[in-house]
Structure 1
Amino acid sequence: MVRRLVYLGVRLVHLASARGFVSKREELILQMFSCGNCGLLECAFEKQSVELVGEGGGTPVKADEQTDRPEAPETFNCVIEIGKGSKVKYELDKNSGMIKVDRVLYSSVVYPHNYGFIPRTLCEDNDPLDVLVIMQEPVMSGCFLRARAIGLMPMIDQGEKDDKIIAVCADDPEYRHMKDINELPPHRLQEIRRFFEDYKKNENKEVSTDNFLDSKKAVEAVSHAMELYKATSEEAETSLISESENPGVSSLA
């Protein structure tokens, strides 16, 4: 039974991704926590228990509290793809499950802070919500950490909305006390804005930013992205159940 649930869970995300409901990065997160050999399914972006099935039978395992933040949307876990100070744009590769080099930035700039995305969120472009995490040290690609939203930078990337959540690491003593983006020094805000306005210029790609918004707007954006993810996931789940009950007929078509 549990193996069947594991299969259905994997099928759900694969089908939803194919239909445009779940982004490739979200699908990869599931694949990273799904093992066909031992039957372990620990969904990194759905709140649920996990079950480990081996030769000795099934043993229920409680999902790690670090995976699901009860303080969300104010404080949340995020996955870091690109470390502070890097000129290399890394991203999760769907096929291999490894971090790959997407490209080296054309401009003579580096990422000013750790950059990644918030799992279990979805934006209008079918990608998770991007986040820039301010902290003292660079973080290795593929790590997740606890962050607090302090602001939002509205951004348009080649005509499409691509807003960035500005956050601080909730476990960095240098920044964890900060609650709002206005607490950052002006030069730090200028540094962030200048990076995103310039980092694609030599690729002939147009990016524009607007004035930073406060923590309230940032939390609202995170909450909206979480709700959008939840709604599309529920829609995909309903469609998958319908498909399993009516083989050969897809309600997602």
Structure 2
Amino acid sequence: MIPNFKAHPWHGISVGEECPDVVNVFIEIVPSDTIKYEVDKESGFLKVDRPQQFSNIIPALYGFVPRTYCHDEVLRLALESGAEDVTIGDNDPLDICVLSSHNIHSGGMLMEALPIGGFKMIDAGEADDKIVAVMKGDHAFGHFRDISELPQAEVKRLMHYFLTYKNLPDEPAKCRIHEVYGADHAKEVVLASMRDYASKFGG
């Protein structure tokens, strides 16, 4: 009899056979969510992180790339890009937002996505890259191959979210985006986070 077993979404699922051109993504939250969910690192279940503050709602599907970790290799890329206010990776799996024209109602699912760029975000001294991707096969976004091809309004919407989602109105900014990068560097970040994962967890 096969035991009833659910793979841990961070450790038990591969990055994908076509990585880094196509990666598996575990979606945690969707644009309609008013609660920020994240995977509990110990159990693998989705848990409530916090209510979304004010009207700041994620403008894309959001989650992480399995079997990635942001530490020394991801930090190295940030330093090489000229970021001087960064001292460590954020010690989490690699964040990724996925653009899709489909109305997906809830997280907790896997999908394939194509990295097309990202944001070199610095969060209180931590390298906290946000990969931007498109859902594989999406009829409206699936043909994009680099963030430079996206409408600037779409890029600015994503940037605004990441620059403000942790802030209260009377607080100073906690995050900054050091640079916006294209598909080639996004794939470097994916590979660097895979090396960090292998150093931390093996495999």
TM over 0.5: yes
Alignment of 1:91-110 (within 5 A): 91-94=38-41, 97-110=44-57
Instruction: Work out which of the residue numbers 159, 164, 178 in structure 2 matches 1:210.
Output: 178
Give 2:102's aligned residue. Answer: 137
Which runs of 5 or more structure 2 residues have no equivalent in the other structure? 72-89
Q: Residue 137 of structure 2 aligns to which amino acid in structure 1?
A: D
SS in 2 for 1:128: coil
1:81 equivalenced with 2:81 (yes/no): no
Alignment partners' CA distance in 2, 1:112 and 1:132: 9
Aligned residues: 181
Give 1:242's aligned residue. Answer: none
Identity %: 35
Instruction: Work out which of the residue numbers 25, 49, 58 in structure 2 matches 1:111.
Output: 58
Give 2:93's aligned residue. Answer: 128
**8 Å contact from structure 1 (residues 93, 100) kept in 2:** yes
Q: Residue 201 of structure 1 aligns to which amino acid in structure 2?
A: N
Alignment partners' CA distance in 1, 2:184 and 2:24: 18
- Show structure 1 runs of 4+ deviating over 6 A: none
Q: Residue 128 of structure 1 aligns to which amino acid in structure 2?
A: P
1:72 equivalenced with 2:38 (yes/no): no
**8 Å contact from structure 1 (residues 84, 137) kept in 2:** no
Give 2:152's aligned residue. Answer: 186
Cα 1:82–1:214 shift into 2, 3 Å: same
Instruction: Work out which of the residue numbers 219, 223, 231 in structure 1 matches 2:191.
Output: 223
**8 Å contact from structure 2 (residues 119, 179) kept in 1:** yes
Alignment partners' CA distance in 1, 2:24 and 2:4: 25
- 1:105 is displaced (CA, Å) by 1.9
- 1:108 is displaced (CA, Å) by 1.7
**8 Å contact from structure 1 (residues 122, 128) kept in 2:** yes
Q: Which has the greater radius of gyration?
A: 1
Alignment of 1:129-168 (within 5 A): 129-139=94-104, 140-168=106-134
Q: Which deviates further from its counterpart, 72-81 or 99-108?
A: 99-108
Q: Considering fraction of residues, name the structure with more helix.
A: 1
Alignment of 1:230-245 (within 5 A): 230-234=198-202
- 1:101 is displaced (CA, Å) by 1.7
**8 Å contact from structure 2 (residues 15, 67) kept in 1:** no
SS in 2 for 1:226: helix
Which runs of 5 or more structure 1 residues have no equivalent in the other structure? 1-36, 48-65, 238-253
**8 Å contact from structure 1 (residues 148, 170) kept in 2:** yes
Cα 1:176–1:104 shift into 2, 3 Å: same
Q: Which deviates further from its counterpart, 194-203 or 221-230?
A: 194-203
**8 Å contact from structure 1 (residues 107, 199) kept in 2:** no
Relative CO higher for 1 or 2, CA cutoff 8 Å, sep ≥ 6? 2
TM-score for the superposition, normalised by structure 2: 0.79
- 1:161 is displaced (CA, Å) by 1.4
Alignment partners' CA distance in 1, 2:163 and 2:155: 12
Alignment partners' CA distance in 1, 2:114 and 2:36: 23
Output the aligned Cα RMSD: 2.6
